[in-house]
Amino acid sequence: MNTMLSLEKLNPGDNAIINEIKSNGVDHGVLMEMGLISGTSVQLIKFAPLGDPLEIKVRGYHLSIRKSDAKSILVEKQ
């Protein structure tokens, strides 16, 4: 079994499957409504020049989220 890690620990180009969105985040509802729910695959595209926020690809579109939000997204690396 692959290890679980939070989304911002991935490297650019990595693919992963979302396992859980922890509800201790800023507002996990917003993330989930944008399609980040468990079982969905995501790809980390890149980090912004200042290291934060980060760009991910999910459900065929690109989304920018802050590191602090990414911390509450647990993924399983593919």
Partner 1 sequence: MASNCHASTNLDDATACDNNVVLVGNPNSGKTTVFNALTGLRQKVGNYPGVTVEKKTGSMTDNHGRVIKLHDLPGLYSLIPKSLDDKISVDILTGRSPHLKSVKLIVLVADASNLNRSLYLITQITELGAPVVLALNMMDAAESKGTRINTKEMANELGVEVLPVVAKKGQGIAELRSKIIELLAQEKDKQAHTALPVTDAVQQAAQPVGEYIQRVHGLSVQASLAEAYRIISNDNALQGWLSHTNGRKQDATELSSLATDARAQLDAQSVTWQMLETNSRYRLVDHIFQKAVQPNLKQGRSHSEKVDIVLTHRLVGPLIFVAILALIFQSIFLWAEIPTQAIESVMVWLGQQAALILPEGILQDLILDGAIAGVGAVLVFMPQIMFLFFFLSLLEDSGYMARAAFIFDRFMRAAGLSGRSVIPLLSSFACAIPGIMATRTIQSSRDRIITIMIAPFMSCSARLPVYALMIGAFIPPYYVLGIFSLPALTLLSMYMIGILAALGTAVLLKKLTGRQTKESSFVMELPPYRLPSLRWTSLQMWERAKIFVTDAGKIIFAMSIVLWALAYFPRPDNPNEVSGSTAIRQSYAGRLGQAMEPVIRPLGFDWKMGIGLITSFAAREVMVSTMATIYNVEGGNETSVTLREALKRDRDPITGQAVYTPLVALSLMVFFVLACQCMSTVAIVKRETNSWRWPVTMIVYMTVMAYIGSFIVYQGGKILGLG
CB of 77 to partner 1, least distance (A): 20
Nearest to 22 by CA among 74, 78, 60: 74
Which one, 3 or 11, has the nearer CB to partner 1? 11
Q: Which one among 2, 15, 22, 59 touches partner 1, defined by CB under 8 A? A: 59
Largest CA distance in the chain: 33
CB of 1 to partner 1, least distance (A): 23
Query: Which helix (DSSP H) or strand (DSSP E) does residue 32 occupy?
Result: helix 28-33
Coil, helix or strand at residue 68: helix
Question: Which residues make up the interface to partner 1 (CB under 8 A)?
Answer: 23, 25-35, 37, 40, 45-46, 48-53, 55, 58-66, 68-69
